[in-house]
């Protein structure tokens, strides 16, 4: 796997691949790679001839400077983790490559960006939308792979590709979880042992609420018991816990069409997010549901 740091070198490489008739897949990341990212790389390697993994900790999507400063930077071990997967390039641009002097453009998506993390992290999705648009163009990708853990981000990126007539197909891939159900995230590294032991309650609370809604409990009651479950287990402030339509992310008060439950909650100074679909039971939920 070649490490490339400049747009010009990346362009020369993708032009060579195009001349050879190869298709290109991209997996955008901010590094601190875990099995969730690696599953995206696997999906990309299976779907396209050439695969670029990007690593750029994008300052424009951090609304909190402390969060940006604390974000893990682990390029060397990220490159090692990628080695067995067969990606062709690790693209690691610096700030000057991405946002050179005079940079003045922001991509802003309305609708799907507005609630959830868009409401609690002002400016976050403008930063994501701007950097992802640049990465899709710089890599000339036919397909781009994103995890469903960041479901709102996935819908924002789908909107951009559609609205800006980008040729890149956006592929959503399932959330990868630890064996206790915690969604994999680079932020999990910041949890101490006690917080790490508490964190699986997030998926547990969402799954129970999904089961309850499927069984006919009202959305309001199911969300209220999920909230109590989180608080009783020792979770801190809950930024949001909501049932939203899929894929438009409109707030739903009844389950008369497919939707997902979304949460963002704090634990030990770390903000964790997760979501589960309500219209289809996961394997985990099938185990929790009473047998007929
Ligand atoms: O999901 C992430 O890691 C980031 O938001 C992304 C898509 C790489 C853009 O910086």
* pLDDT, tens only, 18-47: 999 999 999 999 999 999 999 999 999 999
* pLDDT, tens only, 96-133: 999 999 999 999 999 999 999 999 999 999 999 999 99
Same domain, 159 and 226: no
Within a domain: residue 289?
A: no
The per-residue pLDDT of the chain, averaged, comes to: 96
Report the share of the chain in percent with pLDDT over 90: 91
| Whole-number Å distance between alpha carbons of 126 and 130 | 6
Q: In a 10 Å sphere around its CB, with 0-12 CB exposed, 13-18 middle and 19+ buried, how is residue 197 labelled?
A: middle
Same domain, 214 and 240: yes
* pLDDT, tens only, 134-158: 999 999 999 999 999 999 999 999 9
Please give the distance, rounded to the nearest whole angstrom, from the Cα atom of residue 28 to the centre of ligand 1: 6
Same domain, 112 and 224: no
Q: If you take atom 7 of ligand 1, which residue's CA is the nearest one?
A: 28
Task: Indicate whether this model's pTM tops 0.75.
Answer: yes
**8 A C-beta contact, residue 260 and residue 246:** yes
Within a domain: residue 218?
A: yes
Same domain, 166 and 194: no
Same domain, 162 and 196: no
**What pLDDT is recorded for position 72?**
87
Considering 37, 124, 279, 284, which one is annotated as catalytic?
Answer: 37
Please give the distance, rounded to the nearest whole angstrom, from the Cα atom of residue 170 to the centre of ligand 1: 14
Domain that holds residue 265: 186-276
The pLDDT of 238-263, averaged and rounded, is: 97
* Catalytic residue status for 37: yes
- The yes-or-no verdict on residue 290 having pLDDT over 70 is no
The pLDDT of 79-106, averaged and rounded, is: 97
Same domain, 42 and 74: yes
CATH code where residue 272 lies: 3.30.1300.10
Residues having CB closer than 6 A to ligand 1 are 28-30, 58, 61, 128, 131-132, 150, 153
Same domain, 148 and 20: yes
Same domain, 133 and 268: no
CATH code where residue 100 lies: 3.40.50.620
Same domain, 51 and 122: yes
Of the residues 27, 30, 31, which should be mutated to test ligand 1's pocket, given the most ligand atoms within 8 Å of the CB?
30
Same domain, 139 and 74: yes
Closest ligand 1 atom to Cα of 54: 8
Start-to-end C-alpha separation, the chain: 52
* DSSP letter (8 states) at residue 184: P
Same domain, 168 and 197: no
Please give the distance, rounded to the nearest whole angstrom, from the Cα atom of residue 194 to the centre of ligand 1: 28
């Amino acid at each position: 796997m070649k490490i490339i740091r400049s747009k010009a070198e990346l362009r020369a490489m993708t032009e060579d691949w195009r001349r050879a008739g190869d298709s290109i897949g991209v997996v955008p990341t901010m590094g601190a790679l875990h099995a969730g990212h690696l599953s995206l790389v696997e999906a990309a390697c299976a779907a396209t001839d050439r695969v670029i993994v990007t690593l750029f900790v994008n300052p424009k999507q951090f609304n909190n400077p402390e969060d940006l400063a604390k974000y893990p930077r682990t390029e060397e071990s990220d490159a090692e983790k990628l080695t067995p997967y067969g990606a062709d390039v690790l693209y690691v641009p610096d700030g000057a490559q991405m946002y050179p002097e005079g940079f003045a453009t922001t991509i802003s998506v309305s609708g799907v960006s507005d609630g959830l993390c868009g409401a609690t992290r002002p400016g976050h999705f403008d930063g994501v939308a701007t950097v992802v648009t640049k990465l899709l163009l710089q890599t000339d990708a036919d397909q781009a792979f994103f995890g469903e853990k960041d479901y709102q981000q996935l819908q924002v990126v789908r909107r951009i590709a559609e609205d800006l007539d980008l040729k890149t197909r956006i592929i959503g891939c399932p959330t990868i979880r630890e064996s206790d159900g915690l969604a994999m995230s680079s932020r999990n590294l910041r949890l101490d042992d006690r917080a790490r032991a508490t964190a699986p309650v997030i998926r547990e609370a969402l799954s129970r609420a999904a089961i309850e809604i499927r069984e006919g409990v009202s959305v309001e009651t199911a969300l209220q018991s999920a909230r109590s479950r989180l608080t009783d287990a020792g979770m801190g402030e809950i930024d949001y816990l909501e049932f939203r339509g899929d894929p438009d992310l409109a707030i739903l008060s009844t389950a008369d069409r497919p939707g997902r439950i979304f949460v963002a909650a704090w634990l030990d100074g770390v903000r964790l997010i997760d979501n589960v679909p309500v219209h289809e039971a996961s394997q985990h939920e099938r185990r929790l549901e009473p047998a007929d």
